[in-house]
Amino acid sequence: MLTIVLQNSFNDAKELIEKTAKKTDCYEFRLDTFGNLDVEQLKGLFKLSSPIKTILTFRMSSQGGMFEGSFHKRWEILKPHLSLEPTYVDFEYNTPEEYLNELKQEFPNIKLILSYHDFEQTDPDLFSLTKRVLLSKNADAYKLATKANHINDALRMFTLVRSLSEDRLFTGICMGEKGALTRILAPVLGSTFNYVVGKKGLESAEGQLGIHELIKTYRYRSLNKGTKIFALLGNPVAQSPSHITHNKVFQKLEENAVYIKIKLEKEEFSSFVNLAKDLPFYGFSVTVPFKEIAGADCKTLDDYGKKIGAVNTLYKRKGEFHGTNTDGIGALRALEHYIKLKGKTVVVLGAGGSARAITYALQKCGAKIVIINRTASKAHNLAKEFGCDGFGVDEFSHDTVESPDVIINTTTVGMNDVASTPLRGECISKKALVMDIVTSPKETKLLKLAQEKGCTVMYGYEMFVYQAIEQFILFIDQKLDRQMLEKSIKDAYFLL
Catalytic (active-site) positions: 117, 143, 291
Cβ pair 212, 199 in contact under 8 A = no
Measured distance CA(6)–CA(166) in Å, rounded: 29
- Provide the residue type at 156 as one letter: R
The annotation status of 183 as a binding-site residue, yes or no, is: yes
DSSP 38: -
The annotation status of 241 as a binding-site residue, yes or no, is: yes
Measured distance CA(199)–CA(211) in Å, rounded: 8
The annotation status of 331 as a binding-site residue, yes or no, is: no
The annotation status of 374 as a binding-site residue, yes or no, is: yes
The annotation status of 244 as a binding-site residue, yes or no, is: no
Least Cα distance to 325 among 338, 334, 336, 312 occurs for 312
Beta-ladder partners of 313: 285, 324
Query: Count of CB atoms within 10 A of residue 461's CB?
Result: 21
Phi and psi, residue 285, nearest 5°: -90, 130
Least Cα distance to 408 among 468, 454, 344 occurs for 344
The annotation status of 420 as a binding-site residue, yes or no, is: no
The annotation status of 377 as a binding-site residue, yes or no, is: yes
The annotation status of 41 as a binding-site residue, yes or no, is: no
The annotation status of 467 as a binding-site residue, yes or no, is: yes
| Three-state helix/strand/coil letters over 375-406 | CHHHHHHHHHHHCCEEEECCCCCCCCCCCCCE
The annotation status of 240 as a binding-site residue, yes or no, is: yes
Phi and psi, residue 38, nearest 5°: -80, 170
The annotation status of 440 as a binding-site residue, yes or no, is: no
Helix 71-82 to helix 97-106 angle (10° resolution) is: 10
The annotation status of 50 as a binding-site residue, yes or no, is: no
The annotation status of 400 as a binding-site residue, yes or no, is: no
Cβ pair 299, 320 in contact under 8 A = yes
The annotation status of 375 as a binding-site residue, yes or no, is: yes
SS3 168: coil
Q: Which helix (H) or strand (E) holds 55?
A: strand 53-57
The annotation status of 376 as a binding-site residue, yes or no, is: yes
SS3 189: helix
Cβ pair 155, 148 in contact under 8 A = no
The annotation status of 437 as a binding-site residue, yes or no, is: yes
Query: Residues 77-82: contacts with CB within 8 Å, 24+ apart?
Result: 78/31, 79/106, 80/39, 81/31, 81/39, 81/42, 81/56, 82/56, 82/106, 82/107, 82/110
Measured distance CA(18)–CA(87) in Å, rounded: 20
The annotation status of 86 as a binding-site residue, yes or no, is: no
Measured distance CA(100)–CA(77) in Å, rounded: 15
The annotation status of 483 as a binding-site residue, yes or no, is: no
Query: Count of CB atoms within 10 A of residue 483's CB?
Result: 9
The annotation status of 460 as a binding-site residue, yes or no, is: yes
The annotation status of 403 as a binding-site residue, yes or no, is: no
The annotation status of 353 as a binding-site residue, yes or no, is: yes
Binding residues for NADP(+) are 303, 350-354, 373-378, 437, 460
Binding residues are 28-30, 59, 183, 204, 208, 240-242, 287, 303, 312, 327, 350-354, 373-378, 437, 460, 467
Binding residues for shikimate are 240-242, 287, 312, 327, 467
Binding residues for 3-dehydroquinate are 28-30, 59, 183, 204, 208
